[in-house]
Amino acid sequence: MTNFLNRSGSYVFLATIIARILSFVASWIALKLVSNEELGVVLFAYNIIIFLIPISGLGLHQSLIRYGALIKTEVEKNSLFLYVYKKGMLASFILISLIISVSYFINFKFDNTFTYIIILSFIIFPSFLFEIIRAQFRLKHNNKTFAFTEFVHSVILLVSIFSLSYFFKEIGYAIALLITPLITSLLFLRKLNIDFKSKLKLTITDFSFWKYGFFASLSNVVTQLLFVIDILLIGYLLEDTEMITNYRYISLIPFSLLFLPRVFMATDFVVFTENIFNKEYITNYIKSYMLFFFFASIFFVVFCWLFSTQILTLLDPNFTQFVDTFLILMLGITGIYIFRGLFGNLLSSIGKAHVNYYIASFALILNIISNYYLIPKHGIKGAAITSAILMWFTGILSAIIFVLNYKKLLLKQF
């Protein structure tokens, strides 16, 4: 914990807390300003785009953070940023074109879904730029500015959603989601002091560099899909946009609480990647991390169990009928707290991003099979049961596979 604080982890933590609160307020504002039915259609389209955002730039932002941690000089890190920026923006353009082209031939159940997909697909450009800017600050060990990007992004999101949703309703909400990462990126790009005329070529940008980013991005796509597949299947199986909105907002708090392991990983990933061959360092890090999140899990579950009705009433009094769904999701996220958040990132740190992809893909198959049975039978509660079980399953499996691969990695060094 002391090392975490020394690396400006408190700034990242505080900024993330504020960002989650402001994001929650922004979602609440949208719920009040836009009708549930129309908001459900926008959210349906947005969730399609959300799970494709990690593959923007073919995942080169993932390669940037890992390989950038392994190179030493500032000039090399800046040159790697330029390479990722140029190649990634081109790849993002191709992805947007594919999304729009494929969506044109899909007969969506809800009106205006294709229109929203066109608008929201362009989020891929600024989202990729925003991620590589944030990655570069982490590589420079400038976690304070990295934290500030999160805060500024959330403030802009709140202001844009309120103003645009108030005047333009659901279209305004969609546009607010699009312009927020763009404005934030433009504000912070200059602070990197990148020489865009630099032409230094790096030997690490080979096939393995692209392969790592590609599989890391696929892993994140499938992982994101694990979170949004419930909403997509609820919409498909129940054909009720209000149930989409209900599940989206009931899951808002549990999924928002996943910010905590992400804070640790955002702060520490570069450092433990730099020390990945130091067994003692990694072992101590794992022990302290798991102990902290074990007690954090107990606290959050007990708190939400005692005050679940009051918490859901803050969102909407009608949501109190879904207390069981809320508590099931809370139990599920503890599996990510204790296992998945840590060991998934450690697998990436040792270059096993493809393993994360295989785990997530297997979980996705189980998710679809289970939801086809549980959603028609139990409604949104069935979706929550599936998600909770898979959060624990993928976490424990990641831990087992990391331990086995890490032992092999250390043996190769001696």
Give the pLDDT confidence of 299-312 residue by residue, as tens digits.
999 999 999 888 88
Lookup: tokens for 179: 């312009």
Of 173, 205, 237, the position where a domain reaches its end is 205
250 and 108, same structural domain? no
Whether residues 260 and 174 share a domain: the answer is no
Residue 2's pLDDT is: 56
Q: What pLDDT score does 395 carry?
A: 94
Structure token digits, residue 192: 């990197």
Same domain, 249 and 376: yes
Tally of domains in the chain: 2
Does 284 lie in the same domain as 199? no
Encode pLDDT of 61-103 as tens digits.
989 998 888 887 888 888 899 999 999 999 999 999 999 999 8
The pTM assigned to this predicted structure is 0.77
Domain carrying residue 414: 214-414
Let me know whether 188 and 225 are in one domain.
no
Q: 220 and 145 in one domain?
A: no
Q: How far apart are CA 390 and CA 388, in angstroms?
A: 6
- How confident is the model at residue 336, as a pLDDT? 94
Greatest alpha-carbon span in the chain: 65
- Same domain? 226 vs 95: no
Whole-angstrom CA distances from 370 to 229, 322, 381, 387, 392 are 12, 20, 12, 10, 15
Residues 400 and 309 grouped into a single domain: yes
User: Token digits for 56?
Assistant: 């923007």
Q: Last residue of some domain: 170, 205, 240?
A: 205
Residues 280, 184 share a domain: no
* pLDDT by 10-residue block (mean), the chain, 414 residues: 64 84 86 80 83 85 88 84 93 92 84 86 93 91 88 93 88 91 92 79 86 87 77 80 81 86 86 86 92 94 91 83 90 94 92 90 92 88 92 95 89 66
303, 157: one domain: no
What is the model's pLDDT at position 5? 61
Residue 3, pLDDT score: 62
Helix axes 9-33, 143-189, angle to 10 degrees: 50
Structure tokens at 224: 């994101």
What tokens were used for 101? 């082209």
230 and 271 co-located in one domain: yes
Q: Which residues contact 331 (CB under 8 A, 6 or more apart)?
A: 301, 388
Say what the pLDDT of residue 72 is.
78
* Same domain, yes or no: 78 and 29: yes
Domain boundary among 205, 237, 269: 205
